[in-house]
Amino acid sequence: MYKDSAKHRIDELTQQLRQHNYNYYVLSKLIISDSDFDSLLKELEELEKKFPEFLQPDSPTQRVGGEPTKDFKSVVHKYPFLSLSNTYSEQEIRDFDTRVRKAIGDEVEYVCELKYDGVAIGLTYENGILKQAVTRGDGIQGDDVTNNVKTIRSIPLKLRNNFPPELEIRGEIYFPLKAFEQLNADREEIGLPAFANPRNSASGSLKMQDPAEVARRPLECFLYFLPGEQNLSNTHYESLNYAKDIGFRISKIIALCKSVDEIFEFINDWDKGRHQLEYEIDGVVIKVNSISDQIRLGYTAKNPRWAIAYKFKAEQAETVLESISYQVGRTGAITPVANLKPVLLAGTTVKRASLHNADIIAKLDVRTGDHVFVEKGGEIIPKIVGVNHDKRNMDSKPVRFINTCPECNTLLIRKEGEVAHYCPNEDNCPPQLKGKLEHFISRKAMNIDSLGEGKIEMLYEHDLLKNVADLYELTYNQLLGLEKIIPAEDGKKEKKISFREKTADNIIKGIEQSKEVSFPRVLYALGIRFVGETVAKKLATYFKNIDALLDAGFDELIEIEEIGDKIAESVINYFSKSEHLEIINRLKDKGIKMVIEESQESGSMVLEGKSFVVSGVFENYSRDEIKNLVEYHGGKNVGSISSKTDYVLAGENMGPSKKQKAEKLGVPIISESDFIKMLG
Ligand code: IVH
């Protein structure tokens, strides 16, 4: 292709792709299929590769272009990044209205908007091109998170239509609720702590060091404020319409109000309606509409005088604390749980609440039989926030935290500097043991997906599994016909599960296949405390085989990069136990990989633990070649899409039902070029 026509086509593709993004993210209209979009994007990428002189920094291909950052640069805001004064009281909203009317007269008009519970962001555009995205910080200066923000597809890299030469706009980046639940489920599966609420996961995502990782988090953004000094329109309402016109995503939920009564109509509607939204809000923002009135009202040191936020009260209910039970987690940590008299709260019946640890119980001085206040804040699990002392029983006594494990009776310990109590019986305490087994079979470990939590439980109950080495001694005949009866509960009938031929066969096959799993993952699968995926990889690469690792002393271990005292102690402690050595010997005898292989040393393993469904026809590789690449780099090919699938790798002509399924389950659909990029 000649240069001229390449340039022409690059411009044309850029234009089309921008329009499609705008249709989808701003107008919510789906006009082009994902695969058609991907093929336009791919064509553009190829052309930009061939003619790098035409590659523009704001090209739709440049969303994940940034390098990983260690520290985010601090940037001083051009306009101070003020926050809003906020209130929970109806009277204070009336007082605000009175103040406004006093200053500017009775002809006032307000705009009511939702108050999104996310992370505030300021975007600057120069000649229509996104130059910088900065967090609020302390209001004077914030962090430059531009590379991460560029991965958010609803934020335009280039503006449309009649944009000014310089523009600053502010809004809120948030984590959609469904995706948040999925993210936490995924994190828990691999033993990472769950995020407490969507806001934390949004801010955590924005501060990740690698933009490619951020791109995998489905962040969204609503824009809601153009600092008025820019003189772009006469009213706030118009400025939002203008923002929409030049390419920004603006919420449709917005109302013009002329009186406090109208304001409260909006507030009450959304206080009730907020649980139907796909994102979290924590109140309503009320802004004076006219920009000249805003200027007249001005600012205090901290807040504009022309706006106020009304915050919804966290929903509370009073109920009785019937008893406290203690749960033993997979790491042996004990969590006290409040069993409550069922009570309706924020649309769901609450029967339990977390009491966190002994310190919290003591601080609340909560006692069995107390009337307690339960609240559902931003957190998913409700919490007890106080006790109604007027209703306390005279003879109630402070709670005595248990001192032995409720599962195995072992004396609990409390480590220095930690709030939780622990059961130290890691190898025999049932939940810890089952936890170890579940971790061993999990995706990033031995990836035996024909077994799951329920089946592990069943095998444990039938005395067929006491440790991970027992898995490799299971036989088809032992499994076939194995039964479990689930007793009738909550109006559901009694249920009987039994292993049929296919199940038994799949389990045996899955276990057999796990013998192919690489040594670093085997090491991770053992579940040694503090030995996560990265540490396991480090240790395996350094020692090359399990025997060398077994012989390693403390000093040698801490010599290795990133291995500190805590990890070294934990490794030595693990291998000092004869039960563990016996398990390792048995695993070795069964052919589990305990040695690093040559190809693993050279292979990148960048796809380790990731599962792919490869579908359609590809341009540069055959489907089999793609599948080989997946495996060569440590990934796994699976036949059909499930919620456990990490990526659908879509070529030309991928079936529409596959696409629909991936979209429904929120599995990212990636193109051949995305995939090649992942390989680095
Ligand atoms: S307007 C000068 N509108 O709430 C005032 N803020 O303290 C500019 N927020 O920091 C803010 N939804 O992060 C505005 N519709 C909305 C908002 C909103 C959420 C956040 C924002 C701000 C905080 C208020």
Of 13-27, 427-441, 562-576, which gets the smallest average pLDDT?
A: 13-27
Structurally, the chain folds into a number of domains equal to 6
Please identify, among 383, 408, 425, the residue that sits at the C-terminal boundary of a domain: 425
Q: In CATH, what number is assigned to the domain containing residue 40?
A: 1.10.287.610
What is the H or E stretch that residue 181 is in?
helix 177-189
Residue 525 lies in a domain: yes
Of 135-139, 337-341, 376-380, 635-639, which gets the smallest average pLDDT?
A: 376-380
Q: So what's the pLDDT on residue 188?
A: 65
* Contact of 287 with 187, CB cutoff 8 Å: no
From the list 78, 102, 115, 658, the catalytic residue is: 115
Tell me the residue type at 667: V
Residue 278 lies in a domain: yes
pLDDT in tens, 471-508: 999 999 999 999 887 777 666 677 777 889 999 999 99
DSSP-derived secondary structure for 589-604: HTT---B--HHHHHS-
* Contact of 221 with 145, CB cutoff 8 Å: no
Check residues 380 and 51 and name the one with the higher pLDDT: 51
From the CB of 224, is ligand 1 less than 6 Å away? yes
Phi and psi (nearest 5°) for 638?
-125, 155
* Contact of 300 with 357, CB cutoff 8 Å: no
CA triplet 420, 421, 427: central angle to 5 degrees?
Answer: 120
Residue nearest to atom 3 of ligand 1 (CA): 224
Q: State whether 358 and 299 are in the same domain.
A: no
Residue nearest to atom 14 of ligand 1 (CA): 224
Of 68-72, 87-91, 150-154, 648-652, which gets the smallest average pLDDT?
A: 68-72
Q: State whether 527 and 617 are in the same domain.
A: no
Q: In CATH, what number is assigned to the domain containing residue 580?
A: 1.10.150.20
- C-alpha 206 to ligand 1 mean position (Å): 18
Query: What is the distance between the alpha carbons of residues 88 and 580, in angstroms, rounded to a whole number?
Result: 57
Residue 626 lies in a domain: yes
Residues 6+ apart with CB under 8 A from 25: 153, 154, 249
Q: In CATH, what number is assigned to the domain containing residue 338?
A: 2.40.50.140
Q: State whether 147 and 238 are in the same domain.
A: yes
Positive or negative, the Cα torsion across 122, 123, 127, 128? negative
Q: State whether 488 and 525 are in the same domain.
A: no
Q: How confident is the model over 569-598, as a mean pLDDT?
A: 94
Q: State whether 266 and 153 are in the same domain.
A: yes
The percent of residues in the chain predicted with pLDDT above 70, rounded, is 95
pLDDT in tens, 133-153: 999 988 888 999 999 999 998
Q: In terms of C-beta distances under 8 Å and separation of at least 24 residues, what long-range contacts does 41-45 make, across chains too?
A: 41/17, 41/671, 41/673, 42/619, 42/671, 42/672, 42/673, 43/9, 43/13, 44/10, 44/13, 44/14, 44/17, 45/673
Q: State whether 484 and 580 are in the same domain.
A: no
Q: So what's the pLDDT on residue 377?
A: 66
pLDDT in tens, 19-44: 888 887 788 777 777 778 888 888 99
Please identify, among 600, 621, 638, the residue that sits at the C-terminal boundary of a domain: 600
pLDDT in tens, 201-225: 899 899 888 888 888 889 999 999 9
Atom of ligand 1 nearest to the CA of 82: 2
Q: State whether 121 and 146 are in the same domain.
A: yes
Query: What is the distance between the alpha carbons of residues 611 and 25, in angstroms, rounded to a whole number?
Result: 28
From the CB of 310, is ligand 1 less than 6 Å away? no
Cα 88–chain centre separation: 30
State the residue range of the domain holding 490: 430-516
Q: In CATH, what number is assigned to the domain containing residue 196?
A: 3.30.470.30
Residue 145 lies in a domain: yes
Q: State whether 247 and 181 are in the same domain.
A: yes
Residue 64 lies in a domain: no
Check if 661 is active-site. Answer: no
Q: State whether 354 and 389 are in the same domain.
A: yes
Q: State whether 619 and 563 are in the same domain.
A: no
Check residues 462 and 66 and name the one with the higher pLDDT: 462
For a mutational test of ligand 1's pocket, the pick from 115, 240, 282, 297, i.e. the residue with the most ligand atoms closer than 8 A to its C-beta, is 115
From the CB of 81, is ligand 1 less than 6 Å away? no
Residue 72 lies in a domain: no
Q: So what's the pLDDT on residue 660?
A: 86
Q: State whether 38 and 163 are in the same domain.
A: no
pLDDT in tens, 265-300: 999 999 988 888 999 999 999 999 999 999 999 998
- C-alpha 83 to ligand 1 mean position (Å): 6
- C-alpha 223 to ligand 1 mean position (Å): 10
Atom of ligand 1 nearest to the CA of 227: 2
Residue 383 lies in a domain: yes
- C-alpha 193 to ligand 1 mean position (Å): 29
Q: How many CA atoms lie within 13 A of 560 on its CB side?
A: 21
Residue nearest to atom 16 of ligand 1 (CA): 115
For a mutational test of ligand 1's pocket, the pick from 77, 79, 82, 83, i.e. the residue with the most ligand atoms closer than 8 A to its C-beta, is 83
Please identify, among 368, 397, 425, the residue that sits at the C-terminal boundary of a domain: 425
Q: State whether 500 and 378 are in the same domain.
A: no
pLDDT above 70 (res 228): no
In eight-state DSSP terms, residue 186 is H
Residue 65 lies in a domain: no
Q: So what's the pLDDT on residue 90?
A: 94
Q: In CATH, what number is assigned to the domain containing residue 622?
A: 3.40.50.10190
Tokens at residue 562, please? 């990133």
